[in-house]
Amino acid sequence: MKYSNLKGQSVSRITLGTAQLARTYGISHSGVVLTRDDAYALLASAVAQGVNSIDTSNDYGEADIVIGEWLARRETAEQRQARDLLLGTKLVRVDFSSPEATRRSLREMALDCRRRLDIDTIPLLMLHSFEDYAGDPETVMDTLQSLRADGVCDRIGISIYENDDYDMVAQSEFDAVQIPLNVLSWRRINDGSIARLAESGIGIFVRSVFLQGLFFLNRETMPELMHYALPYVEKFHGFCRKWDLSPAALAVSFVLSIPGISSLVMGCENETQLTENVRLVNSSVTLDSEQMEELRRAFADVPLEITSPSLWPKP
């Protein structure tokens, strides 16, 4: 397994995304929801393959509860407390009606996340959106730092989207940030935002590497309501053929070719997909400057309606 360094902690270059543990997720999902035993086996297989970073949220159904149950089954007390893992969970919908309400809602949600995971200290406590920080940055940061000082969490972070204020995050006291990034998303590379995040020392975790599976679809398999994305997906497949890389290999290699990226958040439906994701990260290639420039010219102006799944038409 390849690893990076997050402020003194070794972090696997792949982070297991767990949205699929308790619900269907992504445009190319098979529709099958994992059983409890399958979810436990998937988590154990990830760790056995060297993955020591796991991403969840109190907004992913019962995914965090499943993780807590799995942790309780582990062999040693240290493992049960997730001390060998960078286990990250996110807080959703902060109350900004008053500073006191903000402090109270953050603390209550953090304690509830700790309870659901059934651990003493959350390795990485994150906000689920930029809005949950921007509503009152000073109060939010003070509260998160207080939670860290009290031992509720070890590190603090935030999950943001393409249109959010990357520079504000780069100038913050967060330890980690989670961003969407893939070969069609060049805006934040071109304007230097990702470079400034990296220079700030914040660990950068990347989600949506496969654009929720869009890269694996073609004219026959893509839902008709998404056919407006076909020209870009077909152009991407053209680069795959040109460089003799599978769509998954090119997608992973592209993101890992960008300086400062700590880990890729990658979900999966089964152990076969997990093993393939680990293989993709371990066998990724660094794209050279000419290849990156070709991709930049091809995809510099892809509309947000394609690169932001939240804007995709609903069936």
* Mean pLDDT, range 176-191, rounded to an integer: 97
Quickly state the pLDDT bin for 276 (edges 50, 70, 90): very high
Name every residue whose Cβ is closer than 8 Å to that of residue 13 and which is 6 or more positions away in sequence.
Answer: 1, 2, 3, 4, 256, 262, 263, 264, 281
Given a cut of 90, whether residue 195 has pLDDT beyond it is yes
Place 20 in a pLDDT band, splitting at 50, 70 and 90.
Answer: confident
Total domains in the chain come to: 1
102-123 residue pLDDT tens: 999 999 999 999 999 999 999 9
Q: Is the pLDDT of residue 24 over 60?
A: no
Model confidence band, residue 25 (pLDDT cutoffs 50, 70, 90) = very low
- pTM for the complete prediction? 0.93
Q: Where residue 15 sits, what CATH number does that domain have?
A: 3.20.20.100
Q: Which amino acid is at 284?
A: S
CB atoms within 10 A of CB 267: 23
- For residue 255, give its domain range: 3-311
Stretch 241-259: mean pLDDT, rounded?
98
- Residue 79 main-chain phi, psi, to 5 deg: -65, -40
Q: Residue 34's pLDDT is what?
A: 85
With a cut of 50, say whether residue 15 has pLDDT above it. Answer: yes
3-state secondary structure of 154: strand
pLDDT at residue 27 in the model: 45
**What is the rounded distance in angstroms from the CA atom of residue 52 to the CA atom of residue 74?**
14
**Extended beta strands in the chain, E state:** 3-6, 9-12, 14-17, 53-55, 86-91, 122-127, 153-159, 176-180, 203-207, 261-267
* Chain centroid offset of residue 46 CA: 16
